[in-house]
């Protein structure tokens, strides 16, 4: 019997050490017991790569919103990721939660909205939308990363990804090596950024099908907001003017115009697709869809300041 217990302890020791390691690091504040690593560094780590960024953001933000719901909500993809809620508070006097998820599809955004309604009566919702995802072929949903963890807490210790996230958190905390958390495209040359932009544009637009179900999903949400006295707005963030060449190349200018008319038929829309002071200078953008972070505050001021709704 003693021999069996000894073998059991020997076998279980590595598992217990892994569990203890994840409890101490707690990369997503899921347990919210240990805070040996600060939130700012944890967010840097979850954004460390193309693979970790979508998964990490939806998990982090879903856990955070569930723990502390906010009645004013931003929902969208990476184009609205850097909308500064502190700046919005200074402008409006109200707190907002940024639920934008890099790589988020329309199905993801729909799910984020309905998830939020389960936890709070919403007051203001800003839905940041892009044409590149308004495509029936962009058919996936990222929210399951967050919901699967909430529904199955044991996976925090059994899923290798959470151990990997804990490892990189610990490594960054100990070394402060910025290479661990450096966002790869921030240091790209103009030529490399053009190559990235071409790749992404081709990937988004080479195949297109009008997404009737997405329009229906948006309609359902806007009708819900009207019925429940929730102020709802669409936000179309700026693109580089060079994107027009790709829309013309793939014969999608009419589809893009249909996308914009769909939004405007459903709710007030901040249409900033092309801005005179931002969209005509390639150096203002990383790829053709994401303006540089230093300009994002200008967008916030236009939307929540004295911006015009079209």
Question: What pTM was estimated for this model as a whole?
Answer: 0.92
Which pLDDT score, from 0 to 100, does residue 217 have?
98
Tokens representing 273?
Answer: 């697709």
Which pLDDT score, from 0 to 100, does residue 309 have?
47
Contact 101, 142 (CB under 8 A): yes
Which pLDDT score, from 0 to 100, does residue 12 have?
61
Which pLDDT score, from 0 to 100, does residue 239 have?
95
**Measuring CA to CA, which residue among 45, 49, 48, 85 is closest to residue 65?**
85
**Among the residues of 68-211, which ranges form H helices?**
85-92, 106-117, 144-151, 155-158, 160-175, 190-205
- Residue 217 has a CB neighbour count (10 Å cut-off) of 18
Which pLDDT score, from 0 to 100, does residue 310 have?
46
Sequence ranges of the domains in the chain: 2-306
Which pLDDT score, from 0 to 100, does residue 11 have?
54
Which pLDDT score, from 0 to 100, does residue 5 have?
52
Those residues of the chain that have pLDDT short of 50 are 4, 6, 8-10, 309-310
CATH of the domain spanning 2-306, picked from 3.40.50.720, 3.30.300.20, 3.40.50.1110, 3.40.50.1220 = 3.40.50.1110
């Amino acid at each position: 019997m003693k021999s069996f217990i000894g073998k059991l302890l020997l076998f279980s020791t590595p598992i217990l050490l892994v569990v203890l390691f994840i409890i101490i690091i707690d990369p997503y504040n899921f347990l919210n017991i240990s805070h040996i690593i600060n939130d700012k560094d944890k967010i840097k780590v979850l954004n460390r790569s193309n693979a970790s960024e979508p998964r990490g953001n939806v998990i982090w933000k879903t856990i955070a919103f569930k723990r502390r719901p906010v009645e004013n909500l931003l929902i969208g993809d990476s184009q609205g990721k850097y909308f500064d809620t502190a700046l919005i508070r200074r402008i409006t006097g109200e707190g907002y939660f940024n639920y934008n998820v890099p790589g988020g599809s329309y199905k993801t955004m729909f799910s984020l909205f309905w998830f939020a309604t389960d936890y709070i009566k919403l007051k203001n919702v800003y839905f940041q939308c892009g044409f590149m995802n308004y495509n029936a072929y962009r058919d996936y949903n990222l929210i399951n990363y967050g919901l699967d963890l909430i529904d199955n807490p044991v996976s925090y210790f059994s899923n290798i990804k959470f151990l990997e996230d804990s490892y990189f958190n610990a490594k960054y905390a100990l070394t402060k090596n910025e290479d661990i958390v450096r966002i790869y495209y921030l240091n790209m040359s103009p030529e490399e950024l053009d190559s990235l932009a071409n790749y992404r544009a081709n990937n988004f637009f080479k195949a297109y099908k009008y997404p009737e179900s997405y329009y229906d999903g948006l309609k359902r949400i806007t009708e819900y907001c009207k019925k429940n006295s929730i102020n709802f707005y669409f936000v179309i963030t700026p693109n580089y003017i060079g994107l027009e060449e790709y829309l013309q190349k793939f014969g999608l200018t009419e589809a893009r115009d249909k996308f914009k008319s769909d939004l405007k038929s459903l709710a007030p829309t901040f249409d900033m697709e092309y801005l005179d002071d931002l969209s005509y200078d390639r150096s203002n953008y990383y790829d053709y869809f994401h303006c540089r972070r230093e300009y994002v505050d200008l967008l916030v001021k236009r939307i929540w300041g004295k911006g015009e709704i079209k």
